[in-house]
Amino acid sequence: MDARHGVPRPRKLDHLLRLAADAHVNLVRVWGGGLIESEDFHRACDRLGLLVWQEFALSSSGIDSVPAADAEYLALMEREARAIVPALRHHPSLAVWSPGNELHDTAAARPLAENDSPVIKVLADVVAELDPDRAWLPGSPSGPAFLNRADIVAADPDGQHDVHGPWEHQGHGGQQRLYDAGTCLLHSEFGVEGMANRRTWEAVVPPDDRTPTGRDNPVLEHLGAWWNNTPLVCTAFGDRIGPAGPDAVRRASRQLQYDGLRYAVEANLRRAPRSSGTVPWQFNEPFPNAWCTSAVDHRGDPKPAYHGVRRAYRPRHVCARFATQVWAGESTFRAGLWSWQQDRPTAGGGTVTARLLGMDGVPFAETVLPARGAGEPAGPGPHNSVPAVRAGEWRVPLPAPADGLFVLDLALRGPDGTLLADNRYLHTTTADLAPLLDLGEARIETRTGPGTDSVELRHTGGPAALGLYLTDARPYEAPGLGSLLPKASLRVLRHTELK
């Protein structure tokens, strides 16, 4: 949870794990490049109902990812395992043991297992002896393919069992094509990169070193080189923003991360039950970086991507599959509409409503489809399994708003009309997201509730408030937001202590 592990930080630990539980997460993976987590961590997971996938301290290096096999090293790892397993095996939250992260034949990109890695066999044998009732995986990913990549998926779609990647936004259309073509059974690591929140950025980047925002800046090269995607961000917004403007790059990169990661998670969930798990990389940032794939930055502030994933993980959800967010050259808008209700998996009788809205909230088009039940399950399964159900395909002439912007607005309603879930996706009729930069100013009225336990936000004028993010001097566990349509309102409650 924090690379600066020498000093206990119980409040931050509790805050981060409560964020995970509040986002409907049911399993957290402690990767092999990190730590064997603390007793306090596992106790908190026990209390919050979070399952733990604990890896031993082995990881790929980016140079050679095959672990050593000499006798002295194997003996060392066996001693380590015999100390670690008894210390953690009493925790009900502990669900899976694994030897480490991305242990593979580097040249062939083939995950290793017990039969071709002596150290993996040593660790497997210790777990089998000391904790035989726990699940064991030979690695992450466990293969047979290593990567979720378009050419690999196309060549062998049935070889995508447990895979990793990618960790970068694939660009307009490319993001949707890759994840819509996915076939993996378990997606145990993937992500989308984005800049840190303003508070963390200003805390870790010296004032004189904040521009340019790209890797040509040696300070920012140090503070997140792998995840600094300034060129992609600029291109995605029609090169209307540049690396000399940190505030614009921050907002744009976080929009891409929010949209890209939410779409990837939803695409995996739509493939249930073939897709049995989706584990984004990564939940929190353990080091004070300026750019990262994390959904929560080092200070503990959720980025917009956190709220996108939290929305996708809701027990009741409605979502869409579409080819792109930018529709230049197209005459028809097309989207597949999906929903699920984990607490009522076979329920029918409700509706999925889809609308295309302008920035003034006025609809261009609307359709209402039946929200079908998932049918009888094949057998008993976990309560939180996702019975994804396709409501249908919607095709409608592409709107022609003067500002080039429109929103796909979705609502899942029960048989009595009760709103169960909603969701929104930003689209443009242009070749990029540049129209966002010309959107006028929205007027938002704020009002605090009794005892300042809540904040009510009301849209009072101007266009829709897109990418709305609530940040102020409250404790950092306060929630963020998504969007607010004209004349709409929203009440935000502060988090309370879990009992």
Digit-coded pLDDT (tens) for 325-368: 999 999 999 999 999 988 776 666 799 999 999 999 999 999 99
pLDDT at 378: 36
The pLDDT, as a whole number, for residue 1 is 76
142-179 pLDDT, tens digit each: 989 999 999 999 999 999 999 999 999 999 999 999 99
Residues 6+ apart with CB under 8 A from 277: 27, 186, 187, 188
CB count, 10 Å around CB of 370?
13
Residue with tokens 């607490």: 343
Lowest mean pLDDT among 408-417, 423-432, 480-489: 480-489
pLDDT, tens digit (0-9, with 9 covering 90-100), for 433-449: 999 999 999 998 988 77
At a CB cut-off of 8 Å and minimum separation 6, what does 311 contact? 262, 317, 423, 482
194 — pLDDT class (breaks 50, 70, 90): very high
Average pLDDT over residues 393-416: 97
* Model pTM score: 0.93
pLDDT (mean) for 410-427: 95
Lowest mean pLDDT among 31-35, 129-133, 145-149, 208-212: 31-35
**Residue type (1 letter), 89:** R
Pairing of strands 104-105, 110-111: antiparallel
Write the CA distances from 302 to 298, 447, 477, integer angstroms. 9, 23, 8
DSSP summary character for residue 115: T
pLDDT tops 80 at residue 294: yes
Q: What was the pLDDT predicted at 349?
A: 79
> Which runs of consecutive H residues, i.e. helices, occur in 49-90?
71-88
Q: Are 77 and 56 within 8 A, CB to CB?
A: yes
What is residue 367's three-state secondary structure? strand
Alpha carbon distance 368, 412 (integer Å):
10
Name, in order, each residue with C-beta under 8 angstroms of 472's C-beta and a sequence gap of 6 or more. 478
CA angle (384 as vertex; 183, 42 as ends), nearest 5: 100
Determine the pLDDT at residue 313.
95
Query: If you average pLDDT over every residue of the chain, what do you get?
Result: 89
Q: Are 128 and 242 in contact (CB under 8 A)?
A: no
Name which residue leads in pLDDT, 431 or 459.
431
Cα separation, 180 vs 162, in Å, equals 17
- Three-state secondary structure of 473-485: CCCCCCCCCCCEC
Angle at 352 between CA 348 and CA 355, to 5 degrees: 170
